[in-house]
Structure 1
Amino acid sequence: MLSLKLPQLLRVHQVPRVFWEDGIMSGYRRPTSSALDCVLSSFQMTNETVNIWTHFLPTWYFVWRLLALAGGPGFRAEPYHWPLLVFLLPACLYPFASCCAHTFSSMSPRARHICYFLDYGALSLYSLGCAFPYAAYSMPASWLHSPLHRLFVPTAVLNSFLCTGLSCYSRFPELENPGFSKALRTAAFAYPFLFDNLPLFYRLWLCWGRAGCGPEALSSSHSHHLLCALLAGLLFTARLPERLAPGCFDYIGHSHQLFHICAILGTHFQLEAVLVDMRSRRAWLATQEPPLGLEGMVTMLGLVVAGNLLIIITFTASLLRAPGTCPLLQGGQPEGGPQAKQQ
Structure 2
Amino acid sequence: MLGEILQQLSTLTLSIKHVCRLPSLSDVIPTSLPLPSPTVEASQVPGLFREPYILSGYRPVNQGWRCYLLSLFQRHNESLNVWTHLLAGPIILHSWWANVDALGYTFNAASLPLTVFLVSSLTYLFFSVAAHLLQSHSEHKHYFFFFLDYVGVAVYQYGCALAHYFYTSESTWRESSIGLLFLPGALFLAWFSCAGCCFAKFRYQRPYPLQRKICQLIPTALAYLLDISPVAHRLLTTVSWTKEPSLPFHALQIFFFLLSALFFSCPIPERFFPGHCDFVGQGHQIFHLFLSLCTVFQLKALFQDYARRRDEVVEVFGERQLWLACASILALFLCCILTAVTTMKHMNKKLHVNK
TM-score, normalisation: structure 2: 0.83
- Number of matched residues? 324
**Structure 2 CA distance for aligned equivalents of residues 77 and 283 of structure 1:** 13
Q: CA RMSD for the aligned pairs?
A: 2.6
Q: In structure 2, what is the Cα distance between the partners aligned to 1:242 and 1:117?
A: 25
Q: How many angstroms apart in 1 are the aligned matches of 2:56 and 2:306?
A: 47
Decide which moves more: 97-106 or 51-60.
51-60
* CA positional deviation for 1:232: 0.2
Mark the CA change 1:256 to 1:75 in structure 2 (over 3 Å): closer, same or farther: same
Counterpart among 36, 48, 59 of residue 18 in structure 1: 48
- 1:223-252 Cα deviation digits (max 9, x unpaired): 110110010000011111101000001001
CA–CA distance in 2 between the matches of 1:124 and 1:117? Answer: 11
Separation (CA, whole Å) in 1 of partners of 2:76 and 2:38: 10
Give 1:156 deviation, angstroms. 1.2
Partner residue in 1 for 2:186: 156
What residue in structure 2 maps to residue 83 of structure 1? 113
- Corresponding residue for residue 328 of structure 2: 300
Q: Is 1:229 aligned to residue 257 of structure 2?
A: yes
Partner-residue secondary structure (3-state), 1:245: coil
CA contact (8 A) 1:76 1:82 kept: no
The aligned amino acid for 1:157 is L
Amino acid at match of 1:263: L
Structure 1, 316-325 or 118-127: larger mean CA deviation: 316-325
Contact 1:150 1:291 in 2 (8 A): no
Match of 1:51 among 34, 59, 81: 81
Structure 2 CA distance, aligned partners of 1:177 and 1:100? 23
Q: CA deviation at 1:301?
A: 1.3
For residue 75 of structure 1, report the CA deviation from its aligned partner. Answer: 2.3
Residue deviations 1:268-309 (CA, integer Å, cap 9, x gap):
011111122222355776752348545313430111111111
Q: Which residue of the partner structure matches residue 195 of structure 1?
A: 226
Match of 2:147 in 1: 117
- 2:214 is matched with 183
Alignment of 1:1-343 (within 5 A): 2=31, 5-66=35-96, 75-145=105-175, 148-171=178-201, 172-175=203-206, 177-207=208-238, 210-211=239-240, 219-281=247-309, 288-290=316-318, 293-326=321-354
Change (3 A) 1:270 1:82: same
User: What letter matches 2:119 in structure 1?
Assistant: L
Kindly tell me: are residues 141 and 72 of structure 1, through their superposed partners in 2, closer, same or farther at Cα, counting changes over 3 Å? same
Distance in 2 (alpha carbons) for counterparts of 1:245 and 1:292 = 55
Of residues 121-130 and 74-83 in structure 1, the stretch that sits farther from structure 2 once superposed is 74-83
Which residues of structure 1 form unaligned runs of 5+? 331-343
Say if 1:11 and 1:97 are closer, same or farther in 2 by CA, change over 3 A: same
Greater Cα shift, 233-242 or 75-84: 75-84
Instruction: Give the letter for the 1:316 counterpart.
Output: M
CA distance in 2, matches of 1:289, 1:188: 28
Quote the Cα distance in structure 2 between the aligned partners of 1:188 and 1:196.
12
What secondary structure is seen at the aligned counterpart in 1 of 2:36?
Answer: coil
The question of whether the paired residues in 1 share the 8 Å contact of 2:113 and 2:326 is answered with no
- Distance of 1:180 and 1:34 partners within structure 2: 34
Aligned mates of 1:180, 1:291 — CA distance in 2: 44
The offset of 1:2, in angstroms, is 3.0
How high is the TM-score relative to the length of structure 1?
Answer: 0.86
SS in 2 for 1:128: helix
Q: 1:67 to 1:317 in 2, by over 3 A?
A: farther
TM-aligned CA distance change 1:281 to 1:173, over 3 Å: same
Deviation string for 1:204-230 (max 9, x for gaps)? 3324xx447977x86210111011001
Is this contact kept in 1: 2:270–2:282, CA < 8 A?
yes
Give the partner amino acid of 1:46.
Answer: H
SS in 2 for 1:9: coil
Aligned counterparts of 2:209 and 2:144: Cα–Cα separation in 1: 19
8 Å contact kept, 1:51–1:102 = yes
Deviates more, 1:298-307 or 1:84-93: 298-307
Structure with bigger helix share is: 2
**Using the alignment, how far apart are the partners of 1:264 and 1:79 within structure 2?**
27
CA–CA distance in structure 1, aligned partners of residues 319 and 200 of structure 2: 34
SS in 1 for 2:339: helix
Q: Distance in 2 between matches of 1:262 and 1:64?
A: 19
- 2-side partners of 1:306 and 1:285: how far apart? 28
Residue 163 of structure 1 and its aligned partner are, at CA, apart by 0.7
| Structure 1 pair 86–306 and aligned structure 2 pair: CA distance change class (3 A) | same
Report deviation, 1:143.
2.3
Question: Any gaps of 5 or more consecutive residues in structure 2?
Answer: 1-29
Cα distance in 1, alignment partners of residues 121 and 320 from structure 2:
20
